[in-house]
Structure 1
Amino acid sequence: MRLKAVSGILLILLLLIGKQGLTSAVVPTETTPSDPPIHIHLTWQNETNTTITVTWQTNSPTSGDIILYDSVSRGGAPSDYSCRTKGVNYTYSGSSGWIHVVELTGLNPSTIYYFICGGDTGGWSGERAFRTAPSTSSDTRFVVGGDSRTNWTERERISMSMAKFSPAFAMHSGDMVNDGIVQSQWDRWFTDVDTHWIGEDNLTIPIIPTLGNHEYPQYTQKYFHQFALPGNERWFSYDWGPHIHIICLDSESPASGAQRDWLENDLATHANYTWKFVNFHRPPFVSGAHSPWTPARTHWVPLFDKYHVDIVFNGHEHNYQRTYALNWTASQVDPQDYSDGTMYIVTGGWGAPLYSPEPIWYMARQNITYHFCLIDVFNNGTLHLQAKDNQGHTFDEVTIHKYARVLTIASSPVTGVSLTINGTTQATPYTGLLPKGNYVLEMPENHNEYVWSHWLEDGNVNRTKVVIMDTDIALTGLFRHFCDLDKNGCVDMRDIAVAASAFGSYPSHPRWNPNADMNKDNQVDMKDIVNIARNFGKDD
């Protein structure tokens, strides 16, 4: 009996020990990532409403080039994300690690996506989020600033202040670092972006950068290795929705030649955009430690005047300067109205040593302070610009009213017809917010088996191609079937009668009717009657 009791006790102990061992075996243990992503930042290489590019750095090329993402938060659990994209990695001379670049494509406009980056080998980042650009008209907020070079404390204070306003993106006008050859300065700058460029809405703020002289592009490629940008990465442009166009130029390259030609073509292509902004480093209008950059005045400013760029943002001068509206082509001694002029903003106060400006006739406001610019573009055609100090307080502001009108264009009875608005091709149905002005609207003369008839403007026939936008307006481009000879909206016996009355005629014949010559063989015969019969009953 005693032996049985001891055996029973031993069995119970063994079961308890086994159970504890089993429990400890399934308890997950958290491991510290061996090489997690750092210097995470967002840019665009293509369309802002359907793509985003994520760039980060690790110590090893094998740490992982993966983005896991979803349109709902997954809390950072790798197995829970529904989408996966793999990118590339590379290093370069003088780098402090390996750069990983992943472009996400096929995204939905105006959508928040949640993501983690890295890989199982090196470890994953924490979950981040971003929002794609809209494809329709919407209110937009963004920030602009530059010259973040040397004063790290002030630089980070500006970054934290601007992030509280949750901009859709931040434009940087160059001179991110003091010496673009020194990698440690880039590492400190990207640490600031990684850490502080997260809005109050918890969205990571993408950057639209431009080259400054302190990036030293003539001596080092470190800038280009660490930013993924469109085209040649020196001059490029983005659309933000259907009404905002952003151009970035390179004032470290010649302003004439290829860059000037590209600029004019880009401005001409986007001439109908309500708002046009340009960003580059060296200012054409400035007063203080630096002189105006004359190549921009010579080669770019005439184009800004011609295509009515709204605001040009620059850096280089370490302070804040805002001009009156200028049209340098119209007058070099008097300010202009905003309806015909461009505002030039020098915003070089993100951390570089401050300079004292000097008064000059075209400057409306100057200030010596660390700062950034906050721009709100509203769907009603209004822009509000505020210059903010490192505490987020406004020390200068200006409002521009475009008095934009909504233009809606449809085509009937066919759909999807392409038209041109001041020479720019658009597809129907079309809805656009356009500044008050004159617009030439042209429909094609033919679309498949239909031919152009006339405009229907808010219920009234309008046969002119020129529409003066004083109020919101709705236009319908009406087409008729090519067999509808009497233009009554339907192919019927009356059309056969029209063709019959011209039967046997030819050019110079007294009964000749070119509309009845369906097949355009210069005679009205049975082939034309048969053509009408085949389309009998079709409605316009």
Structure 2
Amino acid sequence: MRITWVSGNDKPQEVQYGDGQSQTSQVTTFTQHDMCSSILKSPASDFGWHDPGYIHSAVMTGLNPSSNFTYRYGSDSAGWSGRITFRTPPAGGSDELMFIAFGDMGKAPRDPSLEHFIQPGSISVIEATANEVSSGYVDSIFHIGDISYATGFLVEWDFFLHLIYPVASATSYMTAIGNHERDYVSSGSVYITPDSGGECGVPYETYFPMPTAEKDKPWYSIEQGSVHFTVISTEHDWTEKSEQYNWMNNDMAAVDRSRTPWLISIG
């Protein structure tokens, strides 16, 4: 299980969890030069830029499925988070899975004057999801495309991460890329639109390191309970004989339906 957090400190930190276990974080970031632009500067590369700090990520191993454990992250020099309780999803091939799936959520602060583009419904979505998570009836969350709607105004990723913290810190939070994370002119996206504001998937893939093969190939599959999830990118070529199409074909063909009888393709 991977945990990701943001810090102002570039030195590796730790996640401490379970009964005395710990893992050291890998640290990364991105710069203004990583953003896309064109003849006219994009928001992400110019007036919308905001330094993201340092993104820490660590994989917690040795966890039992369908189990609660506590963890904290940080360091003595940078400070520690509080103790957080997390529940792992069921193992692939087990009988039952209860999950929530949604897309196009975005974010909205309590004071909407702070942002250029808000999605007021996001607050009620997170509040309802948090109630389900706290009740113990949710094993996993899938947020499929159009994640934060920062669209090149990078500080809004901070607002979004703060919004989802109550649920993303307590249960599995899986994502898929959307046009408002990836698309930009001359960037390799299928759709030639400025929808990402010049982000071109860089902040998304840094904040949400999914189990993909490599950067800018944001398709992957996982198994939880009785479900095999094939997660695709609608913003990359998925036509017949494309790299993503071949991957989808091979992934779905390899599913053991006696183990995971449900196959859900999302993107």
Aligning the two structures, in what range does the TM-score lie when normalised by the shorter sequence? Answer: 0.7 to 0.9
Which of residues 231, 238, 249 in structure 1 aligns to 2:222?
238
Which of residues 174, 179, 182 in structure 2 aligns to 1:216?
182
- Cα distance in 2 for partners of 1:153, 1:260 equals 36
Residues 314-329 of structure 1 mapped to structure 2, 5 A cutoff: none
How far apart are 1:88 and its partner, in Å?
1.1
**Higher RCO (CA-CA < 8 Å; seq separation 6+):** 2
Q: 1:162 is matched with which residue?
A: 129
SS at match of 2:123: helix
TM-score by length of 2: 0.74
1:38-97 deviation per Cα after TM superposition (whole angstroms, max 9, x unaligned): xxxxxxxxxxxxxx00000011213x5201111xxxxxxxxxx51111121122114321
Which of residues 214, 227, 233 in structure 2 aligns to 1:250?
233
How many residues in Structure 1 have an aligned counterpart in Structure 2? 212
How far apart are 1:265 and its partner, in Å?
0.7
Q: 2:209 is matched with which residue?
A: 228
How far apart are 1:139 and its partner, in Å?
2.5
- Cα distance in 2 for partners of 1:108, 1:138 equals 16
- Cα distance in 1 for partners of 2:252, 2:139 equals 23
- Cα distance in 2 for partners of 1:132, 1:197 equals 13
Q: 1:87 is matched with which residue?
A: 25
User: Gaps (5+ residues) in structure 1?
Assistant: 1-51, 71-80, 281-540
Q: Does 1:147 align with 2:104?
A: yes
Q: 2:247 is matched with which residue?
A: 262
Larger radius of gyration: 1
Mapped contact 1:99–1:226 kept (Cα < 8 A): yes
- Cα distance in 2 for partners of 1:154, 1:109 equals 32
1:314-365 deviation per Cα after TM superposition (whole angstroms, max 9, x unaligned): xxxxxxxxxxxxxxxxxxxxxxxxxxxxxxxxxxxxxxxxxxxxxxxxxxxx
SS at match of 2:56: strand
Mapped contact 2:144–2:176 kept (Cα < 8 A): yes
Mapped contact 1:170–1:207 kept (Cα < 8 A): yes
Using the aligned pairs only, state the percent identity: 24
How far apart are 1:138 and its partner, in Å?
3.3
User: Gaps (5+ residues) in structure 2?
Assistant: 33-50, 107-116, 188-197
Residues 126-205 of structure 1 mapped to structure 2, 5 A cutoff: 126-135=82-91, 137-149=94-106, 150-166=117-133, 167-194=138-165, 196-197=166-167, 204-205=170-171
Q: 2:37 is matched with which residue?
A: none
Mapped contact 2:88–2:171 kept (Cα < 8 A): no
Mapped contact 1:85–1:102 kept (Cα < 8 A): yes
Code of the residue aligned with 1:55 in structure 2: it is T
CA change 1:205–1:180 in 2 (3 A) is farther
Mapped contact 1:180–1:216 kept (Cα < 8 A): no
- Cα distance in 2 for partners of 1:111, 1:205 equals 11
- Cα distance in 1 for partners of 2:253, 2:89 equals 23
Mapped contact 1:65–1:102 kept (Cα < 8 A): no
Mapped contact 1:180–1:222 kept (Cα < 8 A): no
1:119-176 deviation per Cα after TM superposition (whole angstroms, max 9, x unaligned): 1011111111222233352332111111123434421221111221122111111111
Code of the residue aligned with 2:101 in structure 1: it is V
How far apart are 1:271 and its partner, in Å?
4.9
Q: Does 1:275 align with 2:262?
A: yes
Q: 1:59 is matched with which residue?
A: 8
Mapped contact 1:180–1:186 kept (Cα < 8 A): no
CA change 1:169–1:161 in 2 (3 A) is same
1:214-233 deviation per Cα after TM superposition (whole angstroms, max 9, x unaligned): 11354431111111111235
Code of the residue aligned with 1:96 in structure 2: it is P
SS at match of 1:170: strand
Code of the residue aligned with 1:237 in structure 2: it is S
Mapped contact 1:180–1:223 kept (Cα < 8 A): no
CA change 1:65–1:152 in 2 (3 A) is farther
SS at match of 2:132: coil
Mapped contact 1:115–1:128 kept (Cα < 8 A): yes
The alignment yields a C-alpha RMSD, in angstroms, of 1.9
Residues 471-510 of structure 1 mapped to structure 2, 5 A cutoff: none
Q: Does 1:116 align with 2:72?
A: yes
How far apart are 1:249 and its partner, in Å?
0.4
- Cα distance in 1 for partners of 2:83, 2:120 equals 27
- Cα distance in 2 for partners of 1:97, 1:140 equals 36
SS at match of 2:127: helix
Residues 327-366 of structure 1 mapped to structure 2, 5 A cutoff: none
1:484-517 deviation per Cα after TM superposition (whole angstroms, max 9, x unaligned): xxxxxxxxxxxxxxxxxxxxxxxxxxxxxxxxxx
SS at match of 2:147: coil
1:395-441 deviation per Cα after TM superposition (whole angstroms, max 9, x unaligned): xxxxxxxxxxxxxxxxxxxxxxxxxxxxxxxxxxxxxxxxxxxxxxx
